[in-house]
A and B are shown apart, each in its own frame.
Chain A
Amino acid sequence: MNLPRSRLQYRFLASALAAAMLFALIAGTLAYGLGARRANAAAHQTIAGMQAAVEKTAAIAVFAHDTTLMREVIDGVGRNSLVKQVDIVDAGGRTLLQGSATSAPVGTSESVVRQPLKSPFDASETIGAMRIEIDGEQLQHVARREAWLMAMLMVGQAALIAMTVFLTGARLVSQPIVRLARALAAMPAGSTQPLAWPRGHEHDEIGTLVQSANDLLSANAQALQRERELRQDIEAMEAQYRQIFDSTSAGIFVLDRQGRLINGNPTVLKVIGGGVGHLRQLRGRDFLELVFARPERARAMIEQAALRNETMSADLELRAMGGRTRWAHCLLSVQEAHRPDDEAADSMAMDGVVEGVLYDITERKQVETDVRRRADHDALTGALNRNGIDEAIDRHLAHGDATDALTLLYLDLDGFKQINDRHGHHHGDEVLQQAVQRIQAELRRNTDLVGRIGGDEFVVALAHSGPTDVAASQIAANIVARLCEPFALGGGAVAEIGVSIGMASYPRHGRHRRELMHAADEAMYWVKRHGKNGYATALAEA
Chain B
Amino acid sequence: MSAATRLLSWRRRGFVASLAAVCLSALALPARADVWVVVPTSSSVKAMSQKELVDLYMGRSRAFPDGTFALPFDLPRDDPGRAAFYKSLTGMDLAQINSYWSRLMFSGQTLPPQPLPGEAAMADLVRRNPSAVGYLLQEPTADKGLRVVLVLKSAK
Tell me if B103 and A57 are in contact (CB < 8 A): yes
Interface window among B20-28, B52-60, B69-77: B52-60
Say whether B67 faces chain A, with CB atoms less than 8 Å apart.
no
- Which of A63-71, A158-166, A203-211, A318-326 interfaces with chain B? A63-71
In the complex formed, the residue of B with least CB distance to A65 is B60
Quick one: given A60-B100, A120-B100, A122-B51, are A66 and B110 in contact (CB under 8 Å)?
yes
Q: Which of B58, B104, B110 contacts A121, CB < 8 Å?
A: B58
Contact between chains at B58 and A66 (CB < 8 Å): no
A64/B60 in contact, CB under 8 A? yes
Complex: A405 Cα to B103 Cα, angstroms: 182
- CB pair B107 A68 closer than 8 Å: yes
The 4 closest A-B pairs by CB, nearest first: A68-B107, A64-B59, A69-B107, A64-B110
B106 and A69 contact, CB distance less than 8 A:
yes
Contact between B109 and A68, CB atoms less than 8 A apart: yes
Chain B: CB-nearest residue to A60? B103
Beta-carbon contact of B104 and A64 below 8 Å: yes
Say if the beta carbon of B14 comes within 8 Å of chain A. no
Judged by a CB distance under 8 angstroms, whether B90 is at the interface is: yes
A62-85 vs B, CB cutoff 8 Å, 1 = contact: the mask equals: 011111110010000000000000
Contacts known (A60-B100, A120-B100, A122-B51); A72 close to B107, Cβ less than 8 A: yes
B50-108 CB contacts (< 8 Å) to partner A:
51, 54, 58-60, 90-92, 100, 103-104, 106-108
Can you list 27 A-B pairs, Cβ within 8 angstroms, ordered by A? A57-B103, A60-B100, A60-B103, A60-B104, A61-B104, A63-B58, A63-B59, A63-B60, A64-B58, A64-B59, A64-B60, A66-B104, A66-B109, A66-B110, A68-B107, A68-B108, A68-B109, A69-B103, A69-B106, A69-B109, A120-B58, A120-B100, A121-B54, A121-B58, A121-B91, A121-B92, A122-B51
Q: Per DSSP, are chain A's interface residues mostly helix, strand or loop, or mixed?
A: helix
Cα(A63)–Cα(B51), bound, Å: 13
Count residues on chain B whose CB falls below 8 Å from chain A CBs: 16
Q: How many residue pairs between the two chains, A and B, have CB atoms under 8 Å in the bound complex?
A: 42
Among B60, B90, B108, residue most surrounded by chain A Cβ atoms (within 10 Å): B60
B90 near A66 with CB under 8 A, answer no
| B108: A residues at CB distance < 8 A | 68
Q: Which of B51, B90, B92, B107 has the most CB of A within 10 A?
A: B107
- Per-residue CB contact flags for chain A residues 114-128 toward chain B (1 = under 8 Å, else 0) read 000000111000000
Q: Beyond the given A72-B107, A121-B90, could you list 18 further A-B residue pairs with CB under 8 A, ordered by the A residue number?
A: A57-B103, A60-B103, A60-B104, A61-B103, A63-B58, A63-B59, A64-B104, A65-B110, A66-B59, A66-B107, A68-B107, A68-B108, A69-B104, A120-B100, A121-B54, A121-B92, A122-B51, A122-B54
Smallest CB–CB gap between B137 and chain A, Å?
21
B54 / chain A contacts, CB cutoff of 8 Å: 121-122
Shortest C-beta distance, B150 to chain A (Å), equals 15
Inside 8 A of A66's CB, which chain B residues have their CB?
A: 59, 104, 107, 109-110
- Closest Cβ of chain B to A124, distance in Å, is 11
> Shortest beta-carbon distance, A199 to chain B, in Å?
76
Nearest CB in chain B to that of A67: its residue = B109
Give the docked Cα–Cα distance between A60 and B96 (Å). Answer: 12
Which chain A residues border B92 with CB–CB below 8 Å? 121
Complex Cα–Cα for A63 and B90 (A):
14
Query: How far, in angstroms, from A64 to B55 measured CA to CA in the complex?
Result: 9
Chain A residues whose CB sits within 8 angstroms of the CB of B60 once the complex forms:
63-65
Cβ distance B60 to chain A, nearest Cβ, rounded Å: 6
CA distance A60 to B104 in the complex (A): 8
By a CB distance below 8 angstroms, the chain B residues around A121 are 54, 58, 90-92
Residue of B nearest to A120 (CB): B100
Contacting residues of chain B (6-26) with chain A, CB-CB under 8 angstroms: none
B residues less than 8 Å from A72 (CB atoms): 106-107
- Measured CB to CB, the closest approach of chain B to A60, in angstroms, equals 6
Q: Which residue on A lies nearest to B106, using beta carbons?
A: A69
Which residues of B lie under 8 Å from residue A120 when comparing CB positions?
A: 58, 100
**Complex interface bits, A34-78 against B, C-beta within 8 A gives 1, otherwise 0:** 000000000000000000000001001101111111001000000
A121 CA to B50 CA, complexed, in Å: 11
Q: Which residues of B contact A57 (CB under 8 A)?
A: 103
